[in-house]
Structure 1
């Protein structure tokens, strides 16, 4: 049975540990017409700050979807699955372009996925301020 939705600050060690493991994730963003756009991504999670991050190219559809939502951000979800274990983080995403934010996201990505991202001068960060978590496992 799935655990009920929780506030991002009230998480157990197993849930947090799952987000430290190396797993491919999905990011769901709303297209301008409201339909969901789901793509595979790498996600990093900073529970203390209530943030998740996805590095991306500024020209990608996922980035354009977040930007199309306006300055208030887009409601998004990231999810990872491993057998019967799953975890979802929901929140409001914005696109950050400043070099320090990009460098921090790249550092966290390299730490979780054990590889340095390829250089990309068009790289940005989709930063998700978390509002809810769910999972099982």
Structure 2
């Protein structure tokens, strides 16, 4: 499990948006703005989305059975952080409820959505500005 240093942890709990980069089947990058939450206990970033979104479609296992990779990048002035790791779709009701609760604390409450899933990024690499170096 990946742990962020104290400055990084504060930054990923402040109210900022980020970009999520996933790969299309042809290998080209798909970059979209997202809101995300950080689970420090599990070293996981979570994004809620609709099950039919492109970002959810890019998070399915690869043809060889491997896990696709993704990167989240949050920027605010001179501070930036990129969280990189494997991405997967979770339809687990408890994980969705937990992600919605975390989202409400960081951003705002979400309306109920029966099509909601969670994109779960298990972080294994972090790059950050020198303001937040490990």
* TM-score, normalised by the number of residues in structure 2: 0.90
Aligned to 2:67: 73
Q: Which residue, 91, 98, 104 being the options, matches 1:97?
A: 91
Aligned to 2:78: 84
Alignment pair present for 1:39 and 2:39: no
Aligned to 2:122: 129
Alignment pair present for 1:29 and 2:17: no
Note the C-alpha offset of 1:65: 1.0
Aligned to 1:3: none
Runs of 4 or more consecutive aligned structure 1 residues displaced over 4 Å after TM superposition? none
CA displacement 1:9-59 (0-9 Å, x = unmatched): 2x3211110011000111100101111100000111112211010000001
Alignment pair present for 1:111 and 2:134: no
Q: Whole-Å Cα distance in 2 between the matches of residues 119 and 64 of structure 1?
A: 21
Query: Which runs of no fewer than 5 residues in structure 1 stay unpaired?
Result: 1-6
* TM-score, normalised by the number of residues in structure 1: 0.88
Note the C-alpha offset of 1:68: 5.7
Q: Whole-Å Cα distance in 1 between the matches of residues 123 and 73 of structure 2?
A: 13
Q: Whole-Å Cα distance in 2 between the matches of residues 12 and 97 of structure 1?
A: 30
Equivalenced residue count is 129
Q: Whole-Å Cα distance in 1 between the matches of residues 97 and 39 of structure 2?
A: 15
Q: CA RMSD in A?
A: 1.5
Q: Whole-Å Cα distance in 1 between the matches of residues 61 and 68 of structure 2?
A: 8
Query: Which runs of no fewer than 5 residues in structure 2 stay unpaired?
Result: none
